[in-house]
Amino acid sequence: MTSASKEKRPLRLAVTAAALALVGLAPSGCATAPTDPTERAAFEATNDPWEPVNREIFAFNQVADKYVIRPVAIGYRDVVPEFARNRIRDFLDNLNEPVIFMNNMLQGEGGRAAKTVSRFVINSTVGVGGFYDVLGANGVPQESGDFGQTLYRWGVPPGPYLVLPILGPSDPRDAIGKYGVDGLADPFNRLVDGTIYNEPTLVYVREGVWGIDLRSRNIETLDQLERDSLDFYAKMRSVWRQYRDAELRHGAPAELDYSLYGPEPSGPTPSK
């Protein structure tokens, strides 16, 4: 690796550094915890002590989305045929399989890791370099697996809710895991690092195309969500948490917190 390439870092590492800086700076903008017990319980349930800072970043993201990201996503959807967009999505998903495999193994998910290897090998060969998700079309969908999820399985708490510039909802655990460790471990990043192909450019292109493609697939959904929300920030926080919680558990249902239903009844059990 050349000295010049060492000075360059993938987008995910830059975002992680920004996230950690925000974590260090955000307490100065913490929302004051309410003293009323009911309001205090709601405040703690949101786990969003950095809300003032988060809302500012959220507002910035909304402006960037309105004037740049959403128009580009609409243009991408209008200009690129659906068939080509699907091939691009399958190719990008296939590039991510090695990272998913690594995290499946670190989580002790041998069965999921085996499926991921099968998907990568077959889709990379029969699927013409990953441009066709052959196994996905035959009932073997892509597994989830990132280092934020791995940290969750290891018992690392998420930390407070955190909104990242451009990337949106997250938390410190995911910021370090998904946008830091996974970026370092990604074989694609290592393959092009220090080569004549200019590693940062290729990484930025990959991340940018992935993001625009994802945004193009959710234009109407997000528009409707915003129209139906009295507080779009709070709505997005709730939606992201529900989605991420399910992803962390690989889609398994959440365990019930029986404390929500009050203490168990005491005394003799009524006869039937």
7: number of Cβ within 10 Å: 8
Question: What pLDDT was estimated at residue 23?
Answer: 47
* Three-class SS state of 168: strand
Domains in the chain: boundaries: 48-248
* Nearby residues of 60 by Cβ (< 8 Å), 6 or more positions away: 165
User: Can you tell me the mean pLDDT for 43-50?
Assistant: 82
* Three-class SS state of 218: coil
Q: How far is CA 215 from CA 57, 184, 202, in A?
A: 18, 25, 20
Which phi and psi angles does 164 have, rounded to 5°? -95, 145
pLDDT band at 5 (very low <50, low <70, confident <90, very high): very low
What is the model's pTM? 0.79
Question: What pLDDT was estimated at residue 36?
Answer: 59
Percent of the chain surpassing pLDDT 90? 64
pLDDT tens digits for 173-212? 999 999 889 988 898 887 876 554 555 778 888 999 999 9
pLDDT tens digits for 207-236? 999 999 999 999 999 999 999 999 999 999
pLDDT band at 134 (very low <50, low <70, confident <90, very high): very high
Which of 56, 41, 19 lies closest to 158 in space, CA to CA?
19
